[in-house]
Structure 1
Amino acid sequence: MPQHSSPNVQRAREALAARLREMRLDAGISGRELAVRCGWHESKSSRIENARTPPSDADIRAWCAACGASEQADDLVAANRQSAEASVQWRRLQGTGLRRLQESGAPLYDRTKLFRVYCSDVIPGFLQTPGYATALLSSIAAFRETKNDVSEAVAARMDRNRVIREGNRRFLIVLEESVLRYRVADAETMAVQYGHLLAVMALPRVAVGIIPFAAERTVWPVATFTMFDEKRVHADTLDAAQTLVQPSQVKLYTRAFDRLSEHAVRGQAAREIIARAITALDA
């Protein structure tokens, strides 16, 4: 059995193997019959189904065709490619400090042309000021009990954030109004952050929408996520940063972003919401 660098890799492969086995059973064929249809030895089918041997993309496509389910091949191939990075554990990345976590995403940010970002908890990293980022990353480091390299991490984040002003990129960003009311830092820092948000909203390739508290919704607030072109989604949870690349997953998040965007106000209406948040800092 191959040695895996992370239990997450093996769990992802086991989930893929289970889906392939279910597909075979749904097709009503034995492992031997599947092997005949695919042109390989029966033992290979068993090794794949028991997650002892990771299948190649060609193996997955042959398996799907043999089961009369070729329409599922693209999703399963994406899941297979994703297994090495599926559900990347925050603590594994943060073990050597927050700076490395910020730097690890730089190549992806550089090659992405369209960013779609939905935030329900904090100001997205693209739009953070050094003061806001320092307060946020300090709280993360303290909570995670990781190496405290916040200053270096903030510098790396600010360097990464140059993408919002450089190149031919577009940013579609939707915030819940609640994001503006969470006191992540002191009032002065928050005021500077809100001022920066107003300035960034004027950039020609940045579109910021805010979903008001009073909006009548058809989609509930969900966890923060970022979409990179049409290929990849990062969905954050407390203990993991999930990387989603299956076409059906990306399609689902695209629909969610579009629906959430429908509830957002923009332009003057959005600036008025930010102004009210600034006024509330004195309360």
Structure 2
Amino acid sequence: MPLGTTPSGGMTLPPNSTSGSSNVHEARDALGKRLRELRQAADMSGRQLAESLSWPPSKVSKLENGRQTPTDDDIRKWATVTGSAGEAEALLASLHTLEVQHAEWQRILRTGLKPHQQELISWDQRTRLFRAFEATVIPGLLQTPEYARARFAEGIRRLKLPNDINEAVAGRARRQEILYRPDKRFHFVLTEAALRFRLCTPDVMIGQLDRLVSLSQLPNVRLGIIDFETQYATSPWHGFWIYDNERVLVETLSAELDLRQPQEIELYGSAFEQLAAVASYGRAARAIINRVIEDLVPDASEDSS
């Protein structure tokens, strides 16, 4: 998984995915085209604009062609130099919408892991129906502290983040209290691969799988497992979370996609229903989990000896 700092913890998106990644690129391109229009309306070449702002010419090209996301300061300076100060607020609104859709981990987590956990709690509180699909990891709300620690440690290593792992693990544990609220409903669908990937030691994984068995029996939690022999109706490209019918979160290696357009939510809702339809539930799901536990026991015994 990329990080495990969001609830999703999914795979990177495929190159031709029709998910929100394409919309993010379109939004960045549209912002770049608008910046180019303002420059051309001011009868300035890219080089002239760059020189007036003491920028390298390549920066102007990257911004106009959607290969680099501008900062607030970039937008304000561009609007001022091109005599378009009145356009600044509209441009900033477009930029901030883009930043919400595509938030890079280095920016989200620059102050550590704990603040992002707190932000997720606020969404948890107002959501009534959670739908989550995971192809490679155990969802954050279902993780044991030991499994969560392994996921956070991976993110800290990869992105060289401030190490507040103890606070982050405690924050995730507090988030999990929501599972016991009767006014909330949860529908999780996992692949068998998510149960078998060695993302932690065998003994930690066994504890994690035991927890899945226990949580699957909560009255407001529906846990589905898609075993290896299942014929898929839709490809399990990556993990995602759907919050009611308001928001979809997708986690990639570099960023978190926050999708809120109705057509995107409908697309992911349809994909979730197709994945859920081929999953096993109840005793059948627990049988798959217990089979994986049995396969792990010999390795756990070796580690402890």
Match of 2:289 in 1: 274
Contact 1:13 1:54 survives alignment (8 Å):
no
Q: Find 2:248's aligned residue among 215, 228, 233.
A: 233
Q: How many residues align?
A: 225
- TM-score normalized by the length of structure 1: 0.73
Match of 1:154 in 2: 169
- TM-score normalized by the length of structure 2: 0.68
Residue type of the alignment partner of 1:247 = P
Match of 2:106 in 1: 91
The root-mean-square deviation of aligned C-alpha atoms, in Å, is: 2.7
Q: d(CA) in 2 for partners of 1:181 and 1:156? A: 26
Q: d(CA) in 2 for partners of 1:245 and 1:83? A: 12
Q: Find 1:54's aligned residue among 90, 96, 99.
A: 90
Match of 1:256 in 2: 271
Shift of 1:52: 5.6
Contact 2:144 2:211 survives alignment (8 Å):
yes
Contact 2:109 2:161 survives alignment (8 Å):
yes
Q: d(CA) in 2 for partners of 1:274 and 1:81? A: 43
Q: d(CA) in 2 for partners of 1:194 and 1:202? A: 13
Contact 2:117 2:168 survives alignment (8 Å):
yes
Deviations 1:181-201 (A, max 9, x none): 012221211111111110000
SS in 2 for 1:148: coil
Find out whether 1:203 has 2:210 as its counterpart.
Answer: no
Shift of 1:215: 0.4
Judged with a 3 Å threshold, the aligned counterparts in structure 2 of structure 1 residues 16 and 228 are, in CA distance, closer, same or farther, namely: farther
Shift of 1:86: 1.3
Q: d(CA) in 2 for partners of 1:17 and 1:240? A: 20
Contact 1:224 1:236 survives alignment (8 Å):
yes
Deviations 1:58-97 (A, max 9, x none): xxxxxxxxxxxxxxxxxxxxx9984341111111111111
Match of 1:164 in 2: 179
Q: d(CA) in 2 for partners of 1:175 and 1:82? A: 31
Find out whether 1:120 has 2:135 as its counterpart.
Answer: yes
Contact 2:114 2:167 survives alignment (8 Å):
yes
Moved over 6 A (4+): 16-19
Residue type of the alignment partner of 1:155 = A
Judged with a 3 Å threshold, the aligned counterparts in structure 2 of structure 1 residues 258 and 138 are, in CA distance, closer, same or farther, namely: same
Shift of 1:211: 0.8
- Report sequence identity in percent: 36
Higher relative contact order (CA 8 A, sep 6+): 2
Contact 1:82 1:245 survives alignment (8 Å):
no
Superposed counterparts of 1:66-81, under 5 Å:
none
Residue type of the alignment partner of 1:244 = L
